[in-house]
Amino acid sequence: MALHIRPDDLRDPCVVLFLEEHLADMRRVSPPECVHALDLAALRRPEIRFWCGWLDDAGDETLVATAALKRLDAGHAELKSMRTAPALRGQGVARHLLAHVLAHARAQGVRRLSLETGVPAFFAPAHRLYLASGFVDCGPFGDYRPDPFSRFMSLAL
């Protein structure tokens, strides 16, 4: 099996469903005012690049991961909509997709990549991934404000 990562226009019904599940997870584990996940309309904005990771098993492709890169300014971008299918979590899919996004960000001249993730235990695997990838805790960035349910992290590229 091989993971194929490619840009996506967010029109495929299975991508839409995957992102709806992502939003449902975020709403389940965080208070409504603390959910910062983007909906489809926001992910289609021109400052956002979106990718899907597809697992190819003997010619059958299955959507297993998503990630987006939101440009904040010329040198700063934000990682958004990072999600791995529940059945494949902990198997390296997110690490592979994150490496792809980091390479793209570097190629586009991004010097700092930041992210906002949740604080509850649900997000512990994400925290481990980001820390292992060199991200460090930081303060709120962009339009974010201090929030007890948010953890802000950043990586100098």
- CATH number (domain holding residue 68): 3.40.630.30
Average pLDDT over residues 73-86: 94
Spacing of C-alpha 38 from chain mean position: 10
Domain that holds residue 34: 2-156
pTM, two decimals, is 0.91
Report how far residue 40's alpha carbon sits from residue 6's, in angstroms, rounded to the nearest whole number: 17
Is the Cβ–Cβ distance between 119 and 148 less than 8 Å?
yes
Q: Give residues with Cβ within 8 angstroms of 84, minimum separation 6.
A: 53, 64, 65, 93, 94, 97
Angle at 102 between CA 59 and CA 137, to 5 degrees: 130
pLDDT value of residue 1 = 54
> Which single residue is written with the structure tokens 């980091």?
102
How many domains, in total, are found in the chain? 1
Q: What's the whole-number average pLDDT of the chain?
A: 92
